[in-house]
Structure 1
Amino acid sequence: MTSAPPVETRRGQFRIVDLFAGPGGLDLAADVLGIPSIGIEWDDDAVATRIAAGLPTVHGDVRLFGPDHPDFEECNVLAGGPPCQTFSIAGSGSGRKALEDVTKFIQRMHAWYEREKAGRKGETWEDIQRELEKLDDERTGLVLQPLRWVFEAMLRPRHGGDEPRPFDVIVLEQVPSAIEVWHQYEKVLKAVGYHAVARVFHTEQYGVPQTRRRAVLVARRTEIPEHFLPPTHQQYRKGVAPADTLFGGRESWVSMETALRHVYARGLVEEAAQRAEPFCVVSNYGSGGDPKARGRRESDKPSATITGKWKRNRIVSRGEPEREMDRLSNEEAGVFQSFPYRYPWRGNDQAQQIGNAVPPRFGVHVLSAALDLGIPGDDVWDRLLLWTVRTPGQATPAEAAAQA
């Protein structure tokens, strides 16, 4: 039996195109893994951050591009996090209606693909697109763009080629309520020859110092293990101390204090800017339906979910009497999202960029599992922690490590 090629060889086989790429969480994950990626992003501010970080970027609308564009002709991995705000209210009437609309469009797109493949006439993508443009919220239609890319890659030759080149791997990530959409994707992708799995994951179970749930879809040409993306850390439960790692083999979740200490220990923060005492984050949102009962999370726990409104949260001391402390900086909030402390946030509404981003550490785990690279080692996490913007021609972190 032929053994699998070494991990370094497999890394070199992949090129990622990242749709709705945002400020670069998934592309940064690819970077520390040594995998080339290029992102498409329309938001000026997120693009400014990406450019400052040196991430390859196409500034534009995903709907105006496809896999046959010259910039993406070598890409064999499709990734992305299409806007899914319309499904964040899935329990409401509008949320259910959005899901029903998307399900019908997914079925129509599958039928369009099968007709095109068989050379039969019928409803075209242009017909479907015109109907999508009539929806009340255009974001409902944007969630279908990755599926369009998948089908176009299966139907049409890439730039300069003679035969269609389907994507080898597909990775999509969004808020937990998007899982129903991913399940619809899952059915269709299996019908056209992919192995696929869609699940909701807890990011603190992968070393992110934050409790955040994400819906992930992975599809690929090869089989996917039943226990795909096994957790490396324990799940955080309020009032429950982490178990001894001897019982289950998983590390404890990572607290805010621990995440900041790792940064301080590497000399990345001037002493005057370091938090020298325990603190508590007091949420801007009420708890249990009571606007006066603000959620609280002590610094020896993982951060609560970093949303786009995190700047509204207060930081107070844990001593008596309680006193106000400096609120989180962009750099600190980025660390709780598992970004490097010195990640170059740019443009306006940086808080929203940080809150919307894919946590890079979680992205590393997802890409490693999807591309069958194995569980990331300490060298990968060191590259992420110590990541800095590269000058033109400078080796990537993975290249530099290989040369050392």
Structure 2
Amino acid sequence: MTDGQPPSPLPTQVEMVDLFAGPGGLDVAAHWLGISVTGIEWDADACATRAKAGLHTKQDDVRLSKPANYPEARILSGGPPCQTYTVAGHGTGRRALDQVLSFVDAIAQGDDITEDLAQLGDVRTGLVLEPLRWAVEAGAPYEAIVLEQVPAVLPVWGAFARVLEDRGYSVDYGILHTEDFGVPQTRRRAILIARRDGEAKLPKPTHRRYRKGQERGEGDQSLRPWKTMGEALGWSKQFTVVSNYGTGGNPKDRGQRLSTQPAFTVTGKVSRNRLIGRPEGKPDRFTDDEAGRLQTFPPDYPWSGRGIAQQIGNAIPPRLAAHVLAAAQGKELDVKIMDRCVKLSWRDTYNGVDGLLKDTLDH
């Protein structure tokens, strides 16, 4: 990254198109791996962050964009809006899941389902189908496709897999736990990887799974211990986080975690979590920058616009995204270099991180 705004690649030159790009979780990972990327995002606040970070962006509705606008793209990625599918939302997407699944074959056959999608009530519910439209309409098949969403969308990825396999892709999909990959946070994501050249495989865990009541040193000794909040934030003094959410919906039964554990899932309400035992004079809430670091964004990531906590909560952690993007290319990450990478400035990692990728998965 150079002084001022870095030179952005032209859309015809990018290697990867990121749909519903948000503030840049997948894009940051792509830059770490040396992949040129453009993101399509309609939200003005997320676009403000992307502009400050120097990420190439088309501010637009994904439904109005076409694969033909990005003829050189070899990777398609996307994290469609999750609000109607998440358990923290109203659940309209979960209730409409059977309808959404019924539309998959129609898209595969090239049918126009615009009027059918309008019947879903919440426009965000049908957006989960857009990556499949892109894959079907692409003049030349993408070398790789990477998709992420909340766990409730896994059946949709399964339906996508059948369509993509009929088109010559190898596909793997499943639920990944972020702490398994060195993210200092417990969070589950439904991930799909499709490849045209080689067998698609989800990345293998590099760190131990967090389990309540289990010590950090317990578990599979071939894996690294989970990352802690204190480690990620560089705080030596122990503190306690009291969750904004109450177990079973009871606000009096709020969960608690120590700084020697991973954070709760970082959502748009992360700033409501209360910190106990923080040094005197420091706020008793996570700042935006601290919440971003729990998501593994660079420590100096230039959050901008409004609703920054929501931007952070909606993003895929870049560290998880890097593992997934590497796997989509038949490679894996050097964990030691990844540990150093997430502590470096965005400016120092914008143009890629030497040695981060290892050629191992296809051999």
Give the TM bin, normalised by the shorter chain. Answer: 0.7 to 0.9
CA distance in 2, matches of 1:395, 1:243: 34
2:105 to 94, 104, 107: 107
Instruction: Give the alignment of 1:217-296 within 5 angstroms.
Output: 217-224=192-199, 228-243=202-217, 247-261=220-234, 275=235, 277-296=237-256
What code does the residue aligned with 2:24 have? G
Partner of 2:16 in structure 1? 16
CA distance in 2, matches of 1:18, 1:100: 26
Partner of 1:264 in structure 2? none
Partner of 2:148 in structure 1? 173
Judge which range, 353-362 or 176-185, deviates more.
176-185
Partner of 1:349 in structure 2? 307
Judge which range, 135-144 or 250-259, deviates more.
135-144
* Root mean square deviation, CA, Å: 2.8
1:28 is aligned to 2:3: no
Compared CA separation, residues 310 and 93, structure 1 to 2 (3 A): closer
Tell me if the contact between 2:171 and 2:200 (Cα under 8 Å) persists in the aligned partners. no
What code does the residue aligned with 1:52 have? K
Partner of 1:314 in structure 2? 274
**Number of corresponding residues:** 345
Partner of 1:203 in structure 2? 178
Compared CA separation, residues 94 and 142, structure 1 to 2 (3 A): closer
Shift of 1:132: 1.6
1:172-214 CA-to-partner distances (Å, cap 9, x unmatched) read 0011111111111112111222111110010000000000101
SS at match of 2:244: strand
Compared CA separation, residues 360 and 93, structure 1 to 2 (3 A): closer
CA distance in 2, matches of 1:46, 1:95: 23
What code does the residue aligned with 2:353 have? A
1:144-191 CA-to-partner distances (Å, cap 9, x unmatched) read 1101100110xxxxxxxxxx3111100000111111111111121112
1:340 is aligned to 2:298: yes
Partner of 1:303 in structure 2? 263
1:248-296 CA-to-partner distances (Å, cap 9, x unmatched) read 41000000111122xxxxxxxxxxxxx5521111111111343211111
2:325 to 367, 372, 381: 367
Partner of 2:40 in structure 1? 40
Shift of 1:39: 0.5
Unaligned runs of 5+ in 1: 1-12, 113-123, 154-163, 262-274
SS at match of 1:200: strand
Tell me if the contact between 1:284 and 1:312 (Cα under 8 Å) persists in the aligned partners. yes
Tell me if the contact between 2:295 and 2:317 (Cα under 8 Å) persists in the aligned partners. yes
1:302-321 CA-to-partner distances (Å, cap 9, x unmatched) read 001001011111111289xx
Partner of 2:85 in structure 1? 87
Tell me if the contact between 2:186 and 2:264 (Cα under 8 Å) persists in the aligned partners. yes
1:205-259 CA-to-partner distances (Å, cap 9, x unmatched) read 0000000101101111134266x311000000011113457x5410000001111
1:351-381 CA-to-partner distances (Å, cap 9, x unmatched) read 0001111100001111111111223343344
CA distance in 1, matches of 2:211, 2:149: 22
Shift of 1:130: 2.8
What code does the residue aligned with 1:75 have? A
Compared CA separation, residues 341 and 104, structure 1 to 2 (3 A): same
Compared CA separation, residues 281 and 25, structure 1 to 2 (3 A): same
CA distance in 2, matches of 1:90, 1:50: 26
Tell me if the contact between 2:169 and 2:194 (Cα under 8 Å) persists in the aligned partners. yes
CA distance in 2, matches of 1:232, 1:92: 34
1:101-134 CA-to-partner distances (Å, cap 9, x unmatched) read 111110211233xxxxxxxxxxx43xx1232234
Partner of 1:131 in structure 2? 116
Shift of 1:96: 4.6
Instruction: Give the alignment of 1:187-202 within 5 angstroms.
Output: 187-202=162-177
Tell me if the contact between 1:203 and 1:212 (Cα under 8 Å) persists in the aligned partners. yes
What code does the residue aligned with 1:396 have? N
Compared CA separation, residues 131 and 289, structure 1 to 2 (3 A): closer
SS at match of 1:344: coil
SS at match of 1:196: strand
Tell me if the contact between 2:31 and 2:350 (Cα under 8 Å) persists in the aligned partners. no
CA distance in 1, matches of 2:164, 2:200: 17
Partner of 2:353 in structure 1? 398
Identity %: 48
TM-score by length of 1: 0.79
CA distance in 2, matches of 1:400, 1:196: 27
Instruction: Give the alignment of 1:56-67 within 5 angstroms.
Output: 56-67=56-67
Shift of 1:94: 4.3
CA distance in 1, matches of 2:90, 2:61: 29
